[in-house]
Amino acid sequence: MNFQQKAAVAVVDIMIVVELCVSIYLAGKDPENMTMLFLKFFFLMLIPTLILAGVAVKMLRSKEPEAKT
């Protein structure tokens, strides 16, 4: 894994934490349905993020094989 791929993974990790916080905030507005709203908001934001992360990591793949250390 090259540096660009590692940077993309770090950005995706930060995005997932932000999505988690936003989902908790939005779900907390309706305490009676908090679990279902949290799951709905979180997964609706998480799935596209993971798809874009996979595409980004594949696009940033280097053409030459890495040297094993």
pLDDT digits (tens, 9 = 90+) for 29-41: 999 999 999 999 9
pTM exceeding the 0.75 threshold for the entire prediction: yes
Burial environment of residue 35 by CB neighbours within 10 A (0 to 12, 13 to 18, 19 or more) = exposed
Cα–Cα distance, 48 to 12 (Å, whole number)? 11
**Residue 25's pLDDT is what?**
96
